[in-house]
Structure 1
Amino acid sequence: MNKQSKWIHQFFKVYWIVIGVHFFSQWGSFVFLDYDDDAYHFYIYILIMPTLLMSLVTLITRWIYIRWNHLSFYVLFSASTLITWTIIYLNYDIRIITALCLLPILSAVVFFRRRLLWIPSVLQLIAFTSLYLADSHFRNYLSSFDVIAVISFIIVSTFIAHIIVASGIEILADLQLTMSAKQDLIVKNAIMSKLSKTDGLTNLYNQISFRDYYNTAFDYATKGAKLHLALIDIDDFKVINDTYGHQAGDTILGKVSQVIQQHMSSSDIAARYGGEEFALLLFDQTFEEAYALVESIRSSVAELQHLEMNGKSVTVSIGLQSYGSEKTKEQLFEQVDTYLYEAKRTGKNKTVTAPHTEVS
């Protein structure tokens, strides 16, 4: 159910409430107050028949709304006019009762459509004029001033309703503009935040972001979480740049980062730590699983052939170590860096970890 339908259903509820309140108010006035009418005339012509008429109008209006939804506004305002002027006619000796004709006009304000405002306004004028011309008792009860006052009241109320709607539409437009600007700002901030955390070439986290994640991960590790740190370095990367150019080197960096991302789980962290070096934080797995993961990265990189290097392949060296309570986070990082250096010093294209396990 859209918002328009929701409000229309609310109006139907209000119609039934108005009919019920009018019924019991009339009945209470007859029973408890000095009501100048006999019982038969009151119950038939003042209580039962008008209540049945207003109820029938409401039921027919609802049926038309369900059957022909595009006529909803017209039947809604017509029904409210008939109910309003039925009540006014039955109680026209109460001077203020004609103010009820304001209700159908104000009901149009809910839909925030200025062109709709004149529909209930015209209907009120038609209903008042018809009643005035058709019923001599009603006509004789009203003075010339009353006639002018009622007509003026309806017209002025419509103009006030126009001002309310116009003001509401302007406020809504300003709010939408503000929300749009806020959404643009949120998107821009999200983009800037991502750019500040990631490396533009590899789309991995940058060194600053990695250090933040590493500090947090180490704190969790001290409380019992599993943590493995790996450092990956592209072998002979300077030779690649010098031989094939820096553009080729950038392409190689991008391809190696893609291999890393393909092997990482959503809970792991991968970063370009600097130059041709990458740092990995691996969670929720045993040392053997972490070892197998970095080995799969190493072997996958070695299998790639690069057009930028005339079909040749590149290799990576890896250092790997798990968290241990005997080391600080600085000592853990230095230990893994030592393993990486040993892998490169002893032949490259291998993974070194404690106790100096090597696979090549």
Structure 2
Amino acid sequence: MNKTKRLTQTMDYKTKQARWVRKMLLLYWMIIAVHFIVQLGSYLFLDYSASPYEFYVGTLIVPTLIMSGSNLLAELAHFKFNRYSFVILFMASTVICWMIIRLNYDIRIITALCLLPIFSSILFFNRRLIWLSFVLQVVVFFLLLAVDASFRTYLSDFDIVAIPTFLIMSTFIALIIQASGRDLLVDLYKTKRAQQELMISNAIISKMSMTDGLTKLYNHLSFQNFYEKALEYAEQGAIIHLALVDIDNFKKINDTYGHQFGDKILEGISQIITEQITANDIPARYGGEEFAILMFEHTFEEAYQIVENIRREVEKMTFQEKLQLVSVTVSIGLKSYTEEMNKDKDVFFQQADDYLYQAKRSGKNKIVALNHIA
């Protein structure tokens, strides 16, 4: 069970990671689109010192194709080669960011864009991804510095030192944020687990307070609550029947064979009751050897058949005690709720109880319902 739970949690985690990868890819497409629109707008409406060919080919079309190609490669890796999707994702983000920086290095603040891959990697709570993003930014920066004379000329000596230093500092900040985030997630997980354990404990305690420990049926107090609610339904027109079931000669059985043997009988009869009633019915251990069953939405004939099945199954049941077989029987009183009982709610239970004692006084192992004795 624990192995299955861990596997499910791992699958959920991977699904969430894949969802975040998709969001990052969508963000990169938006960056590419915004850059394209801003560059085109700047050329058309601002003083842009470049020929149409230099702008449309060298500044707009080729860089956009390179950025789009890198993002398409990341999309493909995410779709078909999920194992390498993170590496290619951050490679693509590096290409996009440094392409934009290269085209707009006259804007001093634009170099801050190289922080996007580093801080994006925090989302995945993986230190190696943060270091990978850092290495990619440093490698591309020095590569541009070595091969692009105009880029190198534009940067001052201070910039050449400050940018790598800035990247290192930002990476350590990202690592601190990532570590703090992981600690927060661990604390949240522990809190959630504690809450779940508390909910389970409360549910168990609640169930224990509502059910009888021996028979696993509802206890006397729970039955009273259900009984009150059932009467409210009955006043609104619901069909309700009440059956009281008492084990015949149970005191004699306890005195003869002991209380432990009597407990076996109680468990056996409660199991029969549970098997014979429907999911809508409510069984309870009302007293020592007495059971109460509230039955809902049955015709009288159906309710009678249910208690008859219980009586018959108990009659067939035998218990082994040393070298002899012991059998037991039950007497049952069955009463249907009627409108006349609205004036006195105790009448419903009292009449079912009267029928039960009629069954016991008239020979036991029988059902008394209305004026019917069987």
- Tell me the TM-score normalised to structure 2 length: 0.93
Which of 303, 307, 318 is matched with 2:332 structurally? 318
Once the two structures are superposed, residues 215-266 of structure 1 have per-residue CA deviations (whole angstroms, 9 ceiling, x without a partner) of 1001111111001111110000011011111111000011011111111000
For the pair 1:338 / 2:319, whether they are aligned, the reply is: no
The match for 2:137 is: 124
Task: Indicate the larger mover: 179-188 or 17-26.
Answer: 17-26
Listed as ranges, the gaps of 5+ residues in structure 2 are: 1-13
Match of 1:329 among 315, 320, 345: 345
Q: How far apart, in 2, do the equivalents of 1:275 and 1:144 lie?
A: 94
**1:273 pairs with one of 283, 286, 291:** 286
User: What letter is aligned with 1:281?
Assistant: L
Aligned to 1:173: 186
Amino acid at match of 1:315: T
Q: Distance in 2 between matches of 1:63 and 1:268?
A: 58
Who is 1:20 aligned against? 33
| Aligned twin of 2:373 | 358
CA apart distance, 1:341? 1.2
Structure 1 residue aligned with 2:11: none
- Indicate the larger mover: 90-99 or 46-55: 46-55
- How many angstroms apart in 1 are the aligned matches of 2:212 and 2:59? 82
- Tell me by how many angstroms 1:66 deviates: 3.1
Check whether the contact 2:73–2:88 (CA below 8 A) recurs between aligned residues. no
Residue in structure 1 matching 2:172, options 149, 155, 159: 159
Per-residue deviation, 1:65: 3.4
Distance, in Å, in 1 between the alignment partners of 2:246 and 2:274 is: 15
1:253 matched to which residue of 2?
Answer: 266
TM-score norm. by structure 1 comes to: 0.97
- Using the alignment, how far apart are the partners of 1:258 and 1:269 within structure 2? 13
| Structure 1 residue 308, shift from structure 2 partner | 2.6
- CA offsets 1:49-80 (integer angstroms, 9 cap, x no match): 11111112222232233332211111111111
| Matched-pair identity in % | 54
SS in 2 for 1:224: coil
Number of equivalent positions: 358
Moved over 4 A (4+): none
Query: Distance in 1 between the 2:74 and 2:309 partners?
Result: 72
Partners of 1:202 and 1:60 in 2: how far apart? 65
Question: Does residue 1:199 correspond to 2:212, yes or no?
Answer: yes
Distance 1:59 1:262 in 2: 62
Which runs of 5 or more residues in structure 1 are unaligned?
none
Aligned counterparts of 2:81 and 2:301: Cα–Cα separation in 1: 70
Shift of 1:197: 0.4
In the TM superposition, residue 322 of structure 1 has moved relative to its aligned partner by: 0.7
C-alpha deviation, 1:312, in angstroms: 2.5
Q: Distance in 1 between matches of 2:104 and 2:369?
A: 96
Structure 1 equivalent of residue 300 of structure 2: 287
Work out the CA distance in 2 between the residues paired with 1:333 and 1:64: 72
Alpha-carbon distance, 1:149 to partner = 1.6
Q: Distance in 2 between matches of 1:135 and 1:222?
A: 89
Q: Aligned partners of 2:308 and 2:140: how far apart in 1?
A: 87
Deviation, structure 1 residue 133: 1.5
SS at match of 2:285: strand
Name the counterpart of 2:5.
none
When structure 1 is superposed on structure 2, of 167-176 and 318-327 the one drifting more is 318-327
1:63 aligns with 2:71: no
CA distance in 1, matches of 2:78, 2:214: 60
Deviates more, 1:297-306 or 1:59-68: 59-68
Give yes or no for contact 2:146–2:152 (8 Å, CA) kept in 1: yes
Aligned CA distance change for structure 1 residues 258 and 67 (closer, same or farther; 3 Å)? closer
Q: Matches of 1:186 and 1:206 in 2, distance apart?
A: 22
Aligned mate of 1:219, from 224, 229, 232: 232
One-letter amino acid of the structure 1 residue matched with residue 339 of structure 2? S
